[in-house]
Chain A
Amino acid sequence: MGKTLFEKIWEDHIVKQIEEGPSVLYIDKHFIHEVTSPQAFTGLNNRGIKLFRPRQTVATADHNVPTLHQELPIKEELSRLQVEALKKNCAEHGVELYGLGHPYQGIVHVIGPELGITQPGMTIVCGDSHTSTHGAFGTIAFGIGTSEVEMVMTTQCLLQSKPKLMRININGELNNAVVSKDIILYIISKISASGATGYFVEYAGSAIRSLSMEARMTICNMSIEMGARGGMIAPDETTFNYIKGRRFAPQGEEWEKKLAYWKTLYSDADATFDREININAAEIEPMITYGTNPGMGIPVTGHIPSFSEIDDKERASFEKALRYMGLEAGVNIKGKKVDYVFIGSCTNSRIEDLRMVASFVKGKKKAAGVEVWVVPGSHQVEMQAREEGIDKIFEDAGFMLRQSGCSACLGMNEDKIPAGKYCISTSNRNFEGRQGAGARTLLASPLTAAAAAITGMVTDVRELFN
């Protein structure tokens, strides 16, 4: 019987199988950041041992950094101490750190692919649930907790049980203005915020094949938002072309060897999945969320469900979400006033996202009273945007281009949305308080977010096309 893409990579990384227990899975690349690593380093230090494979470990500071004036010391003491601890730990354990001020600094899931560190067939982990992003290259990539970070630091291995496998096929032509963020918000709205728990998901089909690498990363990034351990897409010419020539991409003879291996990475025709879902791309419209989990998504032209459309068992959660969001059941989402627009996060902060927004807003102005933050995913993305004159377009539109970091995605650093305010955000989570205590998040694509920046309200971006 044939093998799935997941099985091919998984089996290639099994060091040992524990009887009636998990597998010992070898990890090729370990990304670390300031928030989920300090306690793991302490664990190593307490044992008096050094990090086992520093050359397979890459560090950056992203969650807890300011996105303005990064050249100055971090104002908030605890944040500064955490970033300093990362610097000290990396120096002591011989780990390469792309910290503040380094030309490669950025959000961990943006820099890995951008530098060519992320390559097909790898196992990649990080103490961050959006590690699933790297699956876009045909890797097994997933988020882990700090105890597991310590395991990888200590032995380059993890104890993992093989997850169930799901394939989501999206075939057909995408509608105008529908981008990859809409695809994943649509999928999650269909199968719910817990619909893929226990599974690893492979995305396939012609609509997925038609996407760029950066668009594929957006989809894999949000796999965790439906509970999946990770998401992946089989590598193809798009993947190989993206990797070629990047800073840490293989070269010459090594490139040829790896390319030959990468071309074997796909699910065989007779491979089987525990669950398979088929979606017609034409069904998908620009999407937005109205509630407090990413499964609460609707088309921007649609209405918030009315009580009669909600299952009795879901009613309490639904009411709680609407209460928090200050929204009413049954009403249209279009026209809802927004206060902030956040374009950024590991979901949508890459150069293509910025280009997409820039080409749409060129010659337009933001609405009065709306604050618009564009936060590039890495220092390289910021530099590229400046080189292409995208910064000028944003400036003319009244958008603020900031410096790279996780920013307002998670209400941890200086960039927070005030209580009660509405933020249309290209990030990945609309949980209560996610963007700051009391903040109200509407998740959407960069295009839909940009449209709201121009009109000051939730808008169907297609109505603004010339």
Chain B
Amino acid sequence: MQKLEIIKSRFIPLKIENVDTDQIIPARFLKATTKEGFGKNLFRDWRYENNDETKPRKDFVLNNSTYSGEILVAEKNFGCGSSREHAAWALKDYGFHAVVSSFFADIFKNNALNNGVLPVQVSEPFLQKIFQQGPDSELTIDLGNQKIRIDGTGEEESFDISAYKKTCLLNGYNDIDFLISIKNDIEIFESKKHSENSKSYQLV
């Protein structure tokens, strides 16, 4: 996985709450067997009239050339609903490296982290401050120091991330490599679980 340290970029404001993963990538686009190419269908039904790529919806922010950047800023409860990791793949493929919101759904948060897309949870007032910034304003997300800053005003806030996940992202490690590295422990656990003394004897 690519290392992630500092993201400094303009942002795209998506002032919608409860953005579910069916909106991020509708189910009819989940038929692929690879992880590539989902970006073109990101927010498909909000982006185009009647599913027609020649008719972008003018009122949708991704179609507004005033806004650009590697950071998506959305209202609370981003990524709720289906567990489809395709949502994280679509955001990444489109070019987002971070999503900022006041609240993330659990499964989406894990999926994003597993793909090097950083979910940055900020307070509701700070989120609204970001939304008040103009299209040329930049944000700086400093993963090492766990800070997000509005560059224009200098206002900043700390954000939480587990120490383990932070190390993974800073170094480009992934969970699978880690789990493979402790396979011996896993096999010992299994043999204990299969033993007669285990109360959940042979549950597997």
Known A194-B105, A227-B106, A432-B23; judge A151-B33 contact (CB<8 A): no
Residues of B within 8 A of A150 (CB): 176
A154 touches B176 (CB 8 A): yes
Q: How far is the CA of A314 from the CA of B76 in the complex (A)?
A: 11
B28 touches A254 (CB 8 A): no
Cβ-based interface call for B150 (8 A)? no
Cβ-based interface call for A359 (8 A)? no
Which of A29, A258, A431 is close to B81, meaning CB atoms less than 8 Å apart? Answer: A431
Cβ-based interface call for B5 (8 A)? no
Q: How far is the CA of A16 from the CA of B185 in the complex (A)?
A: 8
A121 touches B203 (CB 8 A): yes
B51 touches A437 (CB 8 A): yes
B85 touches A36 (CB 8 A): yes
Interface digits, A246-262 against B, CB 8 Å rule (1 contact, 0 not)? 00000000100110010
Which residues in window 150-193 of A have CB below 8 A to B?
150-151, 154-157, 159, 161, 163, 193
Interface digits, A43-75 against B, CB 8 Å rule (1 contact, 0 not)? 100000000010010000001100000000000
Cβ-based interface call for B22 (8 A)? yes
Which of B31, B176, B183, B202 is close to A147, meaning CB atoms less than 8 Å apart? Answer: B176
What is the minimal beta-carbon distance from A14 to any residue of chain B, in angstroms? 9
Which of B45, B114, B190 is close to A437, meaning CB atoms less than 8 Å apart? Answer: B45
What is the minimal beta-carbon distance from A77 to any residue of chain B, in angstroms? 9
Residues of A within 8 A of B193 (CB): 26
Cβ-based interface call for B35 (8 A)? yes
What is the minimal beta-carbon distance from A86 to any residue of chain B, in angstroms? 9
Nearest residue (CB) in A for B204 is A28
Which residues in window 1-57 of A have CB below 8 A to B?
12, 15-16, 18, 20-22, 24, 26, 28-29, 35-36, 38-39, 42-43, 53, 56
A157 touches B103 (CB 8 A): no
Cβ-based interface call for A456 (8 A)? no
Interface size class for chain B?
A: 35 or more
Q: How far is the CA of A29 from the CA of B16 in the complex (A)?
A: 37
Cβ-based interface call for A229 (8 A)? yes
Q: How far is the CA of A434 from the CA of B86 in the complex (A)?
A: 15
What is the minimal beta-carbon distance from B159 to any residue of chain A, in angstroms? 16
B34 touches A42 (CB 8 A): yes
Q: How far is the CA of A37 from the CA of B175 in the complex (A)?
A: 17
Residues of A within 8 A of B26 (CB): 411, 433, 437
B77 touches A197 (CB 8 A): yes
B31 touches A148 (CB 8 A): no
Cβ-based interface call for B63 (8 A)? no
B115 touches A147 (CB 8 A): yes
Cβ-based interface call for A289 (8 A)? no
What is the minimal beta-carbon distance from A122 to any residue of chain B, in angstroms? 6
Cβ-based interface call for A316 (8 A)? yes
A-side interface residues, number (CB < 8 Å): 76
Nearest residue (CB) in A for B33 is A38
B200 touches A261 (CB 8 A): yes
Residues of B within 8 A of A227 (CB): 77, 80, 105-106
Interface digits, B9-23 against A, CB 8 Å rule (1 contact, 0 not)? 000000111101011
Q: How far is the CA of A144 from the CA of B85 in the complex (A)?
A: 8
Residues of A within 8 A of B174 (CB): 147
Cβ-based interface call for B162 (8 A)? yes
Q: How far is the CA of A21 from the CA of B31 in the complex (A)?
A: 34
Cβ-based interface call for A129 (8 A)? yes
B45 touches A432 (CB 8 A): yes
Nearest residue (CB) in A for B188 is A15
Cβ-based interface call for A382 (8 A)? no
Cβ-based interface call for A427 (8 A)? no
A28 touches B176 (CB 8 A): no
Which residues in window 436-459 of A have CB below 8 A to B?
437-438
Which of A21, A39, A127, A224 is close to B164, meaning CB atoms less than 8 Å apart? Answer: A21
What is the minimal beta-carbon distance from A100 to any residue of chain B, in angstroms? 16
Cβ-based interface call for A410 (8 A)? yes
Known A21-B164, A155-B183; judge A35-B103 contact (CB<8 A): no
Which residues in window 312-352 of A have CB below 8 A to B?
314, 316-317, 320
Cβ-based interface call for B110 (8 A)? yes
Which of A26, A39, A129, A261 is close to B35, meaning CB atoms less than 8 Å apart? Answer: A39
Residues of A within 8 A of B114 (CB): 145, 147-148
B33 touches A24 (CB 8 A): no
Which of B106, B175, B185 is close to A229, meaning CB atoms less than 8 Å apart? Answer: B106
Residues of B within 8 A of A43 (CB): 176
Q: How far is the CA of A155 from the CA of B174 in the complex (A)?
A: 14
Of A129, A154, A261, chain B has the most CB atoms within 10 Å of the CB of A129
Cβ-based interface call for A405 (8 A)? no
A-B contact pairs, 25 of them (CB 8 A): A12-B200, A15-B185, A22-B162, A26-B186, A35-B31, A35-B84, A64-B31, A82-B32, A143-B83, A144-B110, A148-B175, A197-B80, A224-B107, A227-B106, A229-B106, A258-B201, A261-B199, A261-B203, A293-B18, A293-B80, A410-B22, A410-B82, A411-B27, A429-B22, A431-B20
**Given A198-B106, A412-B30, A432-B45, 8 extra CB contacts under 8 A:** A21-B162, A35-B30, A144-B107, A156-B186, A197-B103, A227-B106, A261-B200, A431-B20
